[in-house]
Structure 1
Amino acid sequence: MSDENERIEKTLKAGEILRQVRAEAVKLIKPGVRLLEVAEFVENRIVELGGKPAFPCNISINSDAAHFTPKRDDERTFAEGDLVKLDIGAHVDGYIADTAISIDLGDNSELVGAAEEALKNAINAIHAGIDTAELGRIIEATIKEFGFKPIINLTGHGLQRWIAHAPPTIYNFATQRGVRLEEGMIVAIEPFATNGAGKVTERSEVEIFSLINLKPVRMKQARELLEEIKPYQTLPFAKRWLSKAPDLIINRLVREGVLRAYPVLTEVGKGLVSQAEHTVIVEEDGARIVT
């Protein structure tokens, strides 16, 4: 199999896995159910179906937009009225697919619809040669038609082997210039809509990390931890995936530039956030939806 065929075939397989897992996971998200139960279901099911998680299952609720995954013994549950974003990724031999959906446990169907419609309109516009600035314009215009704002500092992105966030960056608002999409590129289109200020900021909760610089470390505990992390290569992992993950050691590795931390991203105006995402393959005259 040529490298190109392998890339497409394995990305499609990862997408097929995610379609099934997404449909099954959505049915589990109900008031009273533990977030950890859903996250573990998603991650285990991806493996059962022949893939591996490309990053920890993200379950961001209400004002939180991204990077929330439950702790090891998390007892938090979904509540009546919650607006839940389920963002999941799978890979087959490092070839990644990424998808997200909003599940409304309250009265937020318009906000959910804004992100979904923006996603649909952007995908319908894709073809080889389109400028990503045009996709940003479409996403922003669609979300504003619903009376909401796009989140300007969260973006769609390219997907490359072992890299969940690769170029090009696809902004969710109109920019002067972007990047021309080429046939065969694999990208994730990822609109976020909010009734808040339209921007996210970090908050202190961090459960997701990735390895960015494997260099010698002196502490025995740190060396053991890195051995456990190595199989994830450059992909994000959850603290709860590790047999032992002392905060002291993890924080030290972050300070030393060995690990990157992904704090939870939350809407600055405390607005509710909706999200919709598909991975697509750019074709000459359209886009093939992978997820």
Structure 2
Amino acid sequence: MDDEIFDNYITAGKIAKKYRDEAAAMVKPGVLILDVVEFAEQAILSEGAEIAFPVNISLNDAAAHDTASEGDERVFSKGDVVKVDLGVHIEGYVADTAVTVDLGDHKSLVEASSNALDAVIALVKPGITTGELGGAVEAEIEKKGYRPVSNLTGHGLGKFLLHGIPIIPNVSINGGTVIEEGMVFAVEPFASTGSGQVTDGQRVEIFSQISKKQTRLPSARRLMKDIEKRKTLPFSRRWYKTPNKDINLVRLCQQGILRGYPVLHDVSGSYVSQKEHTLIVTEDGCIVTTA
């Protein structure tokens, strides 16, 4: 990693932290989810940075992948457990960070994911394995009486790469990837009052390009011309206004050009908390870019 790349990661992290915290401060009963999402996305752009993925606002049993739709009328309610997850990139180098806002009486649940993240940060250094990091997440969350979400993980970050190596599990595994100096990755423990397993819901507002293929419909080609500017990074349905957009998104997914990301839920009636930071591994520890 040269100095320019390092500086891009650090700058992206500072911007992500700033607007994660400002967006979280807006989360109050009666406030439109759409207002928080649009504020954060426009604020990132106003800094001269780019949006790494649509701002995620996931409520209660929804752990991830929800964002506001166009004209979304949903509001926050008293009692909600709200995950605010956003990403910023500078020249493709990503900062990914999340925080949970408790609008009810879920302080212990929020602490569980936060404590798990702190435990991982304290352990990260060259030579430790991802299995050991997952064990630290699991231990801290179970100490509070909750379940780690075992089928969600932290993930490596690279240039225009949001989910790469290493994978950081939220449960203990044997072995795993050995952490090396210069690695950049996001750690995101999820704690749940439910099963500790998430499944796909029906709502799909986020997509990304997964292949390059020709499509015959002119309106689909126009849409893809805009989507390709994302360089495979995820985008929101809400961002595009082209004719027949919704039909084309379905067709492009069916053709294997795009992938949709359904909202991920634990069991109905449960609550999930999340906390996430981006780390750069150093010779004897790590730098947290989003703290």
Name the TM-score class by shorter chain.
over 0.9
What percentage of aligned pairs have identical amino acids?
Answer: 46
Partner of 1:99: 97
Does residue 1:286 correspond to 2:282, yes or no? no
TM-score (norm 1): 0.98
Choose from 35, 47, 64 the match for 1:49.
Answer: 47
CA contact (8 A) 1:128 1:182 kept: yes
**1:148-187: CA deviation from partner (whole Å, max 9, x where unpaired):** 0000000001001101111111100000121011101001
Partner of 2:5: 7
Question: Which secondary structure does the structure 2 equivalent of 1:208 belong to?
Answer: strand
**1:218-241: CA deviation from partner (whole Å, max 9, x where unpaired):** 111110110111111110000011
Q: Offset at 1:203?
A: 0.5
* Unmatched 5+ stretches in structure 2: none
After TM superposition, where is structure 1 displaced by more than 3 Å over at least 4 residues in a row?
none
- State how far apart, in whole Å, the 2-side matches of 1:50 and 1:15 are: 14
Q: Offset at 1:7?
A: 1.7
Partner of 2:236: 238
* Unmatched 5+ stretches in structure 1: none
Partner of 2:132: 134
CA contact (8 A) 2:223 2:245 kept: no
- State how far apart, in whole Å, the 2-side matches of 1:43 and 1:9 are: 22
Question: Which secondary structure does the structure 2 equivalent of 1:57 belong to?
Answer: strand
Which amino acid letter does the alignment assign opposite residue 216 of structure 1? Answer: Q
Q: Offset at 1:202?
A: 0.1
Partner of 1:61: 59
CA contact (8 A) 2:61 2:272 kept: yes
TM-score (norm 2): 0.98
Does residue 1:16 correspond to 2:17, yes or no? no
**1:49-96: CA deviation from partner (whole Å, max 9, x where unpaired):** 221110000000000000000101101000011000000000001000
- State how far apart, in whole Å, the 1-side matches of 2:224 and 2:13 are: 29
Partner of 1:260: 259
- State how far apart, in whole Å, the 2-side matches of 1:268 and 1:24 are: 30
CA contact (8 A) 2:50 2:89 kept: yes
Question: Which secondary structure does the structure 2 equivalent of 1:119 belong to?
Answer: helix
CA contact (8 A) 1:197 1:269 kept: no
Q: Offset at 1:283?
A: 1.0
| Number of equivalenced pairs | 289
Which amino acid letter does the alignment assign opposite residue 60 of structure 1? Answer: S
Question: Which secondary structure does the structure 2 equivalent of 1:55 belong to?
Answer: strand
Which amino acid letter does the alignment assign opposite residue 259 of structure 1? Answer: L
- State how far apart, in whole Å, the 2-side matches of 1:10 and 1:95 are: 6
Does residue 1:272 correspond to 2:271, yes or no? yes
- State how far apart, in whole Å, the 2-side matches of 1:131 and 1:177 are: 6
- State how far apart, in whole Å, the 2-side matches of 1:169 and 1:183 are: 16
- State how far apart, in whole Å, the 2-side matches of 1:19 and 1:127 are: 23
Q: Offset at 1:200?
A: 0.1
**1:27-62: CA deviation from partner (whole Å, max 9, x where unpaired):** 111000000000001100011122111000000000
Q: Offset at 1:269?
A: 5.5
**1:260-282: CA deviation from partner (whole Å, max 9, x where unpaired):** 10000000354200000000101
CA contact (8 A) 1:54 1:91 kept: yes
